Structure 1
């Protein structure tokens, strides 16, 4: 974010695509951009856009590069001049409509040319992804490490046979990525034209059951059968007393460093194409990470291992010139992590819900903020501000109100106002807080797998005058 893109105080909203009323890249997404612009906002932060698995977590995707086909707006697709589909675009017909669109596109020379160009541009990941997705279907969505050995180990001769036998299905998966990227980049362009920059989210680790691990097992902590030897997680912290065992494979950093971090250069290239700014989740893992032996079911028995973060970010900076990145520096942060963050002038994060523990030196307290950071009332892993506040004792609530110096006692707006007044250059507010929602609006509870990632709002929840209220608050805090 030191590249001149955003060199002023500004504000934004955190809302994932699946939290829009229609939960796709269609009309509601464009309407939300209009809402942001009318409110004086400059930022729209979303969660990862990749194809999700059974638990719907956008942090456990099937690919580090692909978009989620379920986010494709069928209505926008049906309105394309080359398709002009007149029937129902109900999501129940998603597979049928996408398949028909592919067949129609094959008859249009211009679309064919654009599709071929897209395939060539993304060749370093696209075919692997399409083959992987096809094989997942063939094997009833069994993870790749439970496939027959010759597929698990990517036997070249057998893969050629698969490509010949399932050519249409493989091309269909490629085509869906073509449509996704078209729709997403069109939406991003619309946002940019309206003064809205997109903050995307990139997990530091990727899922075990994803194409990138299957295609490049040498980069990950696997045995010869594709099984994990160690996994990622975090030790006990404010989110979880037992720590968190994420279960993701860890990186073989020595092999990645040996080839100049090409895997990371390609991965970041996709992120920079999709987003204006990338929030890197679990940034501290680039300095050192919590390694848990795969045999252990909890995160309690892990240990810290040093990572080559300085070498990696030096390589990325050398390749891309500027690094429009926000470092998610939450959890157990050491001086070494702070040094790595500051060496590359990356904004960190300040979470207001973490501020009020009675310690006057707490870095999350507004009085202790610095300019080069992004302040949040809460993240997708927190309860809503109102839900969080209502869970506190009356004594703790009074302490917070006393610190905020607001006699109105109006949550969540008191906390939002505190963030707006902060010296921090950026503030991002979850949409749930703007809508004054309680815990019913929570997006995710870390360490749990059921009921998460399902929240979405409806336009009736937007109170009359809300845009004007937000615009006034941003004007008064010099964030327009």
Structure 2
């Protein structure tokens, strides 16, 4: 089998096009009129492979596509010609996000390019593939056209949505044809929308034993505005008849039902990460997490975990539910007590021996074991401040592994707790998706200086500084949030691995994110850790004055006490000073 991949692309002088398949980069040949092509054999590319085009100038890649292409063609054909289009970012790129393709515009069986439906390959001599992400769940894309094979504009030929938002159709073509794409009602096939502009014209009938793949034609449907409504809530507020004194992951299902009834399609949740530091009500602030990856134990639904709803359970539940406000300390203490009893019993042992538990631990090992050890050390020392933990104050993977082995039961409990929480949240997410409701997560800009993240990766944070906000009409003293600032230069060295892992974990649960204080990714108000007042901060990044420069102008940096100074010294560049604002 041979495959001829073609691309219509007008390069600038000195530029070339290369085809990338996995890690391989293969130069393409220029033909004429902006046509680039390459001939591959069966060893070079296989069904299901992903490929992309790159623009190269002087040996360097200067432009890449927005999305990859997928090679998908039946092996019965001896020769395949793929006519591709360069995939730049389209104006409607937002509709390719999972919030739309997998949820709001979800196909009836959930098929999408992220979760493709398995179908027998079309054996026609012409395969057409188009993107159409704005097609609603009750609609499909069809093709109508001229000629005997297409039914002389009287028949709708449905395209497959197996890799939505890309639609595919395989046809046997023996004569030239004109055609248009249409949007139809999936049940009645009634045409709801015709493509605008002139007809597409197909004049070339493929030779025998050849399949022509026309990929990524951009249909010209009229603009279809989408308007959606949603609600933002903290999970702890979703108290229901089933919950145990506080809103739980299980209660998200009730909120989804309400959202569907009221015509809403998005539910935004406040941060759901574990904030347990002192086991008191002071831990209730959701933006000061002890881990950027672990879920908060308070959101566990005890009966679903296996806790028996006996008389004692019902009495305690009734007592907590009767309170006018959430008793944070009582709820969390009771839940941990009941979960520890479950963990020590037969149900806990059965869960720990399950292949699902082993798979969870393996796929989350980078953060799970450090978090579990951190939690045990916090409980043992009565403080999350790891600087007070003696020989465990400085993190090392070797010491953590040894501690986990010596305290296997205690460490195992926190791993087990996260396993149960993960399963319950995934169940709620699946329920929301099946009902066409997207979940939006909240990503705080700050990380606590006494968190697992700061203990495990201190090099990624400026622990000598604090994030905040400058003074304004609402806060004359400025704001000091207490979070360490990020060491972006160090993070760049491993291609922001910590951020990528954090976003990847959140993506397991959420279809979209609200990024708290997104401006902090570009510049942050940074206050040296020895000060409490936000007045003593400066913007980072910023260019400080050197001490010599200031002294030459008659200033005396470093003089004064407390906040009665003109300049604040840069915490990482000695004798360099930022002016007070």
Taking structure 2 as the reference length, the TM-score comes to 0.48
Between the aligned partners of 2:352 and 2:288, the Cα distance in structure 1 is 35
Cα deviation for residue 141 of structure 1 reads 2.5
Whether the 8 Å CA contact 1:25–1:184 is kept in 2: the answer is no
Between the aligned partners of 1:158 and 1:65, the Cα distance in structure 2 is 21
Question: Taking structure 1 as reference, are residues 155 and 107 closer, same or farther at Cα in structure 2, changes over 3 Å only?
Answer: closer
Between the aligned partners of 2:474 and 2:274, the Cα distance in structure 1 is 26
SS state at 2:267 partner: strand
Whether the 8 Å CA contact 2:249–2:425 is kept in 1: the answer is no
Cα deviation for residue 211 of structure 1 reads 0.2
Between the aligned partners of 2:458 and 2:375, the Cα distance in structure 1 is 17
Whether the 8 Å CA contact 1:231–1:245 is kept in 2: the answer is yes
2:35 matched to which residue of 1? none
Question: Taking structure 1 as reference, are residues 121 and 142 closer, same or farther at Cα in structure 2, changes over 3 Å only?
Answer: closer
1:202 matched to which residue of 2? 443
Between the aligned partners of 1:238 and 1:188, the Cα distance in structure 2 is 41
Quick check: which one's strand share is greater? 2
Equivalent in 223, 227, 231 of residue 9 of structure 1: 227
Cα deviation for residue 19 of structure 1 reads 1.1
Equivalent in 457, 460, 463 of residue 216 of structure 1: 457
Matched pairs, number? 296
Which digits, 9 at most, give the CA deviation of each residue in 1:243-286, with x for residues without a partner?
21001011111110011111111011011112111111110011
Structure 1 unpaired stretches of 5+ = 223-228, 308-480
2:536 matched to which residue of 1? 301
State yes or no: 1:18 paired with 2:236: yes
Equivalent in 498, 506, 509 of residue 263 of structure 1: 498
Root mean square deviation of aligned Cα: 2.2
Whether the 8 Å CA contact 2:351–2:357 is kept in 1: the answer is no
Cα deviation for residue 3 of structure 1 reads 2.5
Equivalent in 268, 276, 279 of residue 45 of structure 1: 268
Between the aligned partners of 2:354 and 2:475, the Cα distance in structure 1 is 50
State yes or no: 1:275 paired with 2:510: yes
Between the aligned partners of 2:311 and 2:249, the Cα distance in structure 1 is 17
Structure 2 unpaired stretches of 5+ = 1-93, 101-133, 135-225, 277-281, 317-330, 543-581
State yes or no: 1:178 paired with 2:419: yes
State yes or no: 1:75 paired with 2:303: yes
Between the aligned partners of 1:71 and 1:30, the Cα distance in structure 2 is 13
Whether the 8 Å CA contact 1:232–1:289 is kept in 2: the answer is yes
Between the aligned partners of 1:215 and 1:201, the Cα distance in structure 2 is 23
Between the aligned partners of 2:361 and 2:340, the Cα distance in structure 1 is 18
1:115 matched to which residue of 2? 357
* More RCO (CA 8 Å, sep 6+): 1
Show the 5 A alignment for 1:462-473: none
Cα deviation for residue 26 of structure 1 reads 5.5
Between the aligned partners of 1:164 and 1:27, the Cα distance in structure 2 is 33
Show the 5 A alignment for 1:364-403: none
Quick check: which one's helix share is greater? 1
Taking structure 1 as the reference length, the TM-score comes to 0.58
Question: Taking structure 1 as reference, are residues 42 and 241 closer, same or farther at Cα in structure 2, changes over 3 Å only?
Answer: farther
Between the aligned partners of 2:364 and 2:262, the Cα distance in structure 1 is 36
Show the 5 A alignment for 1:35-434: 35-53=258-276, 54-78=282-306, 86=310, 88-89=312-313, 90=316, 91=331, 93-103=334-344, 104-108=346-350, 112-148=354-390, 150-154=391-395, 158-222=399-463, 229-237=464-472, 239-306=474-541
